[in-house]
Amino acid sequence: MSPEGKRTRGRFAPTPSGRLHLGNALTALLAWLQIRALGGEMILRIEDLDRQRSKPELAGLALSELRWLGLDWDEGPDIGGPHAPYEQSRRGGLYERTLDELRRQGRLYPCYCSRADLQAAAQAPHGLDSEGPAYPGTCRQLSADERESRAQRKTPSLRFAMDETRLYRFEDGIAGRLEYAGGSGGDFVVMRADGIVAYQLAVVADDIEMGITDVLRGWDLLDSTPRQLALYEALGAAPPRFAHSPLLLGADGARLSKRHGSVSLTELREAHGVRPERLAGYLAWLAGLIDRPGELAPHELIASFDLASVRRRAVSLPEDWLTVLTTG
């Protein structure tokens, strides 16, 4: 159970714009182990808001790859559940209601800045690392007449007005105690000019509606946390417990990409014959859960799982990682 007495509920939420790679698999494994070790419920949600980049066939592939690895879930797009639908592209009504509530509070304002304007703002002090330069607040104080004039030339996005006087503190389950000034990242977009709801708003609305108590996700999303805490606060909802798993890097220390070889789960299983138990054991070793690589099914790791054992720093794949996985 969570500290608030709620049933422990976690989620894994892949974006079907590419095949799952080793870094995705590491995060999914850790998120699954955390919830299963707590005796909780696991939800699988497809984050396919951007329909131009998302592909239904990749969503289906993600589910089969996760099952191949040995992971399961209690609710999801393939098995249903009380919080269906589990695809963000089908949850627009929830997002509209959430936006309406924030409008009612006066927390949103239209932003008419062009991409060129935002690029020019890159010379301003940077805010949250994963979010780019801090938005300078150009459109926040526009008069009604100025907004009407700009609206004739450009469809605006919607931004959430951060409280610059707030200090957001939270205890990350892996990274430890952190704090961010409310104004450090600037006001952020909650709906794009093309009408697509932004990641920050969608995941908060979904996690509230689905009763998520624990969120374990990649380290690259750590800087999203203060913005999401601000949304939870505005919506009058208790935030989940957050934990951010270490990034998995190539042997050269760079983010995983095609240049690092066969890093997708599909390539590993089909082109190299990697066994799922071999991969699960290797990922557990990389994360710091076991002291040497070996063959272990995910369920064999539940009893000994300890979030405090997960490494806090990015992990680089050894040069011989593929040889180890394929030859054992």
Instruction: Give catalytic status of residue 258 as yes or no.
Output: yes
* 196: nearest Cα among 54, 62, 83: 54
CB 207 within 8 A of CB 215: yes
- Reference 37, options 308, 310, 307, 309; nearest CA is 307
**Amino acid letter, residue 106:** G
In degrees and rounded to multiples of 5, residue 221 shows phi and psi of: -100, 5
**Residue linked to tokens 């920050």:** 200
Distance from first CA to last CA of the chain, Å, rounded?
38
- Could you give the C-alpha distances from 95 to 49, 54, 100, 206, in angstroms and in order? 11, 19, 9, 8
Output the six-digit token pair for 14: 């892949």
Please state, in angstroms and rounded to a whole number, the distance separating the CA atoms of residues 182 and 186: 8
Sheet holding 157-160, edge to edge: 108-111, 157-160, 188-191
Pull the structure tokens for residue 285: 């070793």
Q: CB neighbours (10 Å) of residue 229?
A: 19
Q: Catalytic residue among 6, 55, 154, 258, which?
A: 258
Q: Which residues are catalytic?
A: 258
